[in-house]
Every structure is written in structure tokens, then in C-alpha cells.
Amino acid sequence: MNLPDGLLDTGWTVFAWVVYAAAAVQAARRAPWRLLADNARLNAFLAMIVALILLWHLQAGVKPGLSLHLLGATVFTLCFGWPLAFVGLSVVLLGVTLNGAAGWQVFAVNALLMAGVGVAVSHAAHRLVDRLLPGHLFVFIFCKGFFTAALAVIAVGSASSLVFALAGTYAGHYLADEYLPYFVLLGFSEAWLSGMLSTLLAVYRPQLLADGGEALFPGRK
């Protein structure tokens, strides 16, 4: 994660920019911007962006591009839905890139991997939970908050490793042995943080969730 410039050739970066532009337009069109008219939600949105900019700078890695850090995509999706989460994480990446922790040429690649994959997996998992399981506080915390967060981070690590392997940046066996396994450990850290925040939001600030807490407290918004 947080890829620097020079790791991928021009073909990869151009393709990523095309895909990212289409995804960004779609997210901007479908984003419920009216939510941010509420001061509490706007403050939460901006606070989450600032917190994640700081969190994404706390990374570990031994080779260019092979870094690990917490993501925050699951909590962002729980609070604002996938379109605003994608937009918000793109702003987070913008802040990280401005500070020199990621490359400008590969901005679209970074955005698709961290914002795109992270938010897509979180959104898909949340919809699956809504379809298969009852609306219950335990289900919300452990399925939507805890396990989904771990799954999202592991998915981002898998997608990053696949891109590196296909692009020939690093050997596939090296990524499988020295990089990808650490995302399982990172997933547990992400899950604990996301589960904790999900619990606090569900109990004390359900109105800040994307559905206003309706799934947990029917009739309350």
C-alpha cells in the first residue's frame, strides 16, 4: 500500500487512471451529499479524513511499495455508505500524497487498491450480512464491524500482491512468502479497531451511521 512512483510501467498507471476516473464519477453521482449538510455528520466526515491521514502515515515496510498500515475503509463505509467512503478515502490519499508518502503518478493505482477494493469489499460484505442475518447489535459489531474490516484489509493485500506479480515488480513467490501473510496479522488489528469504533457508534452515536441506526433501532434516526 502507499505505492511510490516508478514501480509500475506507464500502461498500468494509464489504465488505473481511466478506471479510477470512471469510479470517481460514479461515486460522486451516487453520493448522498445531503448527509454532509448536517453539522454532526460533516464534522465526523472531516475528522475521519484527518485521523486516517495520520494513520496511513504510520506504516511499516522493507521494500518500496511493500508497506502495511491500517485502512479504515469499513468504518467509513458503515458511517457514510460506499460512495462517500470512496470519496473520503480518495481525499485521505490526496493528503498522504501531498505529504510525500505516496506517488502522484500512481495515485489512481493507490486509490483503486485502498479506497476501491477496501470499500467494495466492505459494502459487499455489509449487504450480504443484511440479507442473511437479522438486524442485531451483536451481528452489527462482529460481522459488519469486526470480520468485515479484517476481510477488507486482506483483500487489499491480495489485490496489491496480484498487481505486483502481474506487473513483474516483485516475484510471486516472494510476495506470497514475505508480504501477503502479514496482511492476516494486520487484518486482526484492523478488525479490533473497527469493531471498537463500530461498538461506540452503535451504542452512543447510531445517528452517525449510514442508515441512521435504523437497522439496530427501528424507528430511530
- Spatial separation of the C-alpha atoms in residues 11 and 219, rounded to whole Å: 51
Nearest-5° Cα angle at 33, 218 to 96: 110
Task: Write out pLDDT tens, residues 7-63.
Answer: 899 999 999 999 999 999 999 999 999 989 999 999 999 999 999 999 999 888 778
What pLDDT does 216 receive? 59
What pLDDT does 135 receive? 82
Question: Average pLDDT for residues 133-155, to the nearest whole number?
Answer: 93
What pLDDT does 128 receive? 95
Residue 24, CA distances (Å) to 45, 82, 120, 124 in order: 18, 11, 13, 18
- Tell me how far apart the 2 most distant CA atoms of the chain are, in Å: 54
Instruction: Provide the mean pLDDT of the chain.
Output: 91
Question: Average pLDDT for residues 69-85, to the nearest whole number?
Answer: 95
Which of the two residues, 95 and 67, has the higher pLDDT score? 95
Long-range contacts of 123-127 (CB under 8 A, 24+ apart): 123/77, 123/81, 123/82, 123/85, 125/151, 125/152, 126/77, 126/78
Task: Write out pLDDT tens, residues 105-121.
Answer: 999 999 999 999 999 99
- Specify the DSSP class assigned to residue 31: -
Least confidently predicted of 87-91, 151-155, 173-177: 173-177
Q: Which domains does the chain have, with CATH numbers?
A: 10-208 (1.10.1760.20)
Whether the predicted pLDDT of 133 surpasses 80:
yes
